[in-house]
């Protein structure tokens, strides 16, 4: 029985350390079964099920926003518990003290893992002494890695949210590709769209790298109910699709790059989160909206036949909308409209103290 217990303990310790290494330290996606992946799948589904039963609004968003931080803490605690249990089995198999009960072994393991060093129980074999030192070192190293892990997550979240907040004035709240182009046309600043898309190309690449390496970031939600990383990315993809559909000579290279990295990000993240693409999802873009966008293009001096524009846009949308829709349903994040809702104010125009900011008329 001690040999079996020792093997189980070795499996637990080795499995948890490997999972923690791949989740925290290893900066790349790892295939195969992982404890953290199973943990997120099992805990997110009931959390999301409760969220789906709640009406849309701040209350539901507040409830869903707590999952990311809570699940992160729960995963760290789960790792710690499994390591303590695994080392307890190893100490029992190594003959630490034959007179101890199972609870006492857990107590001894916990004090060693947390490096308390109370000394009320002492190992009685050489192997048990060796394992005691190994567990103390593992606990110290585990704590150090976890402490360094949290700032990395916050930095990735902060970089993501800074760009999303800046998109508010560019494309509205929630962001929409039609509103983005409309504002650029009305301001006579369409030449600023290419540098803007280039910045979002870098943002999307950073999103792809950080969210594949640290899956929990996918569940971290933005500060406002009408903002999310998925809505921002989809709006930028809509904009790149519109631009490419015009086939304007010599000006679509930037939008093609953004489209490529955006489709890469949506495809890979949907795979990681096990969100199968929804090729049968209802169309997000109506005929009236397409005509309105085509009219904005014409007002900017971009002439393209409407039927040709619609067909090109339809083919481009097929490349990313099924993945965006799947992620939207999985994460309960609303996709952005192609054109803004009537009467909707931007976030910068409203405050918690009053209906609208004093500078509303400046727009």
Chain centroid offset of residue 262 CA: 14
What confidence score (pLDDT) does residue 172 get? 87
Angle ∠(164,244,171) on CA atoms, nearest 5: 25
- Which pLDDT tens digit goes with each residue over 142-186? 888 888 888 888 888 999 999 999 998 899 888 999 999 888 888
Q: How confident is the model at residue 83 (pLDDT cuts 50, 70, 90)?
A: very high
Domains along the chain?
2-148 (1.10.287), 172-362 (no CATH)
Tokens 């518990």 -> residue: 81
pLDDT tier, 32 (very low <50, low <70, confident <90, very high otherwise): low
Which residue, 296, 275, 78, is CA-closest to 182? 296
CB 96 within 8 A of CB 108: yes
Residue-wise pLDDT for 205-221, tens only, equals 999 999 988 889 999 99
Inform me whether the pLDDT recorded for 302 exceeds 80.
yes
Tokens of 293: 């966008």
Say yes or no to pLDDT of 231 above 90: yes
% of residues, the chain, pLDDT over 70 = 93
CA-to-CA distance for 1 and 4, rounded, in angstroms?
5
Specify the pLDDT at position 351: 65
Cα(332)–Cα(3) distance, rounded to whole angstroms? 47
Please give the angle made by the CA atoms of 276, 277 and 278, to the nearest 5 degrees: 115
CA 317 vs. chain centroid, Å, equals 22
5-19, 46-60, 243-257, 278-292: which range is least confident on average?
A: 243-257
Q: What is the pTM of this model?
A: 0.86
Residue 29: per-residue pLDDT = 60
What's the pLDDT tens digit per position in 333-361? Answer: 999 999 887 767 787 777 666 554 444 44
Indicate the SS3 state at residue 60. helix
């Amino acid at each position: 029985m001690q040999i079996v217990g020792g093997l189980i303990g070795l499996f637990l310790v080795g499995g948890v350390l490997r999972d923690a290494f791949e989740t925290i330290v290893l900066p790349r996606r790892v295939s195969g079964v992982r404890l953290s992946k199973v943990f997120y799948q099992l805990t997110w589904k009931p959390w999301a099920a409760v969220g789906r039963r709640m009406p849309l609004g701040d209350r539901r968003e507040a409830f869903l926003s707590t999952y990311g931080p809570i699940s992160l803490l729960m995963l760290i605690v789960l790792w710690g518990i499994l390591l303590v249990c695994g080392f307890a089995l190893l100490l029992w198999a190594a003959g630490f003290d034959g007179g101890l009960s199972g609870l006492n072994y857990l107590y001894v393991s916990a004090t060693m893992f947390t490096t308390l060093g109370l000394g009320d129980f002492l190992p009685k074999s050489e192997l048990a002494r060796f394992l005691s030192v190994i567990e103390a070192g593992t606990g110290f190293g585990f704590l150090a890695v976890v402490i360094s892990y949290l700032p990395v997550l916050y930095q990735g979240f902060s970089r993501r949210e800074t760009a999303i907040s800046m998109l508010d004035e560019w494309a509205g709240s929630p962001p929409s590709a039609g509103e983005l182009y409309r504002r650029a046309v009305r301001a006579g600043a369409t030449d600023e769209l290419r540098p803007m898309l280039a910045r979002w190309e870098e943002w999307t690449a950073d999103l792809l790298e950080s969210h594949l390496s640290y899956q929990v970031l996918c569940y971290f939600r933005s500060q406002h109910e009408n903002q999310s990383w998925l809505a921002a990315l989809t709006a930028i993809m809509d904009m790149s699709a519109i631009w490419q559909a015009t086939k304007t000579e010599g000006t679509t290279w930037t939008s093609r790059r953004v489209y490529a990295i955006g489709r890469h990000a949506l495809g890979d993240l949907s795979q990681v989160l096990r969100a199968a693409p929804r090729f049968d999802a209802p169309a997000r873009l109506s005929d009236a909206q397409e005509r309105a966008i085509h009219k904005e293009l014409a007002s900017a001096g971009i002439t393209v036949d409407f039927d040709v524009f619609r067909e090109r846009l339809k083919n481009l949308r097929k490349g990313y909308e099924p993945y965006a829709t799947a992620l939207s349903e999985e994460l309960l994040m609303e996709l952005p409209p192609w054109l803004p809702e009537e009467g909707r104010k931007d976030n910068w125009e409203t405050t918690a103290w009053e209906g609208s900011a004093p500078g509303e008329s400046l727009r």
